[in-house]
Structure 1
Amino acid sequence: MLLVSHYVARSKIHGLGVFTRVPIRAGATVWRHDPMFDVDIPAATLAQFPEDLAQTVRHHAEYLPHLGIFRLGNDGDMFMNHSDDPSLIDRGEEMIAARDLAAGSELTCDYAQVCVLGYENAVLPPLEAAA
């Protein structure tokens, strides 16, 4: 769950992105996993989804192979794009600002750290490993 005021808008990186409405200081916690808000979808159940919804999960959720789940945010988090110079640093159950961010900055992460199966350049474990 994003802990900062944010909005979703067109991204220069890809399609839609998520942006901060407020300035954020380096090291501040910007996102934290909240089991009451974020949805954990067992990977084994993805085959039961219609293909368009399964593709949405693969493109917008983090895949956690050690848990065999996809974690899908219920806020702008699902529109977070990849960057080789991300504005957020993944710390597992939370993400912190990599540097001071001005209001209007796009919130990005590194898909090498945040496993998104739908990312076209990702080198990721096969989904079957979670079953």
Structure 2
Amino acid sequence: MLLIDTYVGPSAIEGVGVFAAEPIRAGQMIYRFAPEFDRLIELSEIDALPESIRRFVDRYTYPYPGKPGVLVLDADNGRHMNHSLTPNTDFRDSVYGYAIADIAPGEEITCNYSEFEPGFEMMPSMVAAHAGRSNGNGSSHAR
């Protein structure tokens, strides 16, 4: 659950992203895992879902830390956070996320998916789409 005010808008990284709606200072906690707020989905549930929802789950979930076979679906704008190799956040802790740089209102909030998703790889289509970028950004799905 994001602990800061955000909005979703057009992203130069991929489609849409999540942006700061308030100033965020380096070191500020911006996220806390909240199972009472965010949806936990058992992998065994996915096959029974309609194809469109399975695609949604594939795009917007990530593995639940420490519990194989369970995914997290953020219930807020966090699910639109895009991947960057040079993120402005730190999500290595499985419960809390922090800003690692000052983030101005209107600036896109990014994270490195590999910090919380073991084995993360960008989809080939996104690798090709972002091959010419020097900032290392790209996404297979939003956080």
Provide the TM-score with structure 2 as the length reference: 0.78
Q: Which runs of 5+ in 1 are unaligned?
A: 122-131
Please name the residue that 1:86 is paired with. Answer: 87
CA contact (8 A) 1:38 1:72 kept: yes
After superposition, give the CA deviation of every residue in 1:39-72 in whole Å (9 maximum; x if it has no partner). Answer: 0001111111111111111111112374121101
Q: After TM superposition, list the pairs within 5 Å mapping 1:90-101 onto structure 2.
A: 90=91, 91-101=93-103
CA contact (8 A) 1:87 1:107 kept: yes
SS in 1 for 2:57: helix
Q: What is the rounded CA distance, in whole Å, between the counterparts of 1:40 and 1:10 in structure 2?
A: 27
Report the equivalent of 1:120: 123
5+ residue gaps, structure 2: 125-143
Cα offset, 1:107, TM superposition: 1.1
C-alpha contact (below 8 Å) 2:65/2:116 kept by paired residues: no
- State the percentage of identical aligned residues: 34
Instruction: Note the 1:1-131 alignment, pairs <5 A.
Output: 1-64=1-64, 66-67=66-67, 68-90=69-91, 91-115=93-117, 119-120=122-123
Matching residue's letter, 2:34:
D
Please list the CA deviations of residues 79-130 of structure 1 after superposition, one character each: whole Å capped at 9, or x if unmatched: 0110011111012111100111111111111111132879416xxxxxxxxx
| Letter in structure 2 aligned against 1:53 | I
1:17 aligned counterpart, secondary structure: strand
Q: Which amino acid aligns with 2:41?
A: I
Which residue in 1 is equivalent to 2:130?
A: none
CA distance in 2, matches of 1:75, 1:112: 21
Structure 1 stretches of 4+ with a deviation exceeding 3 A read 116-119
Alpha carbons 1:17, 1:106 under 8 Å: kept: yes
The number of equivalent residue pairs is 121
Residue of structure 2 equivalent to 1:129? none
How many angstroms apart in 2 are the aligned matches of 1:64 and 1:118? Answer: 17
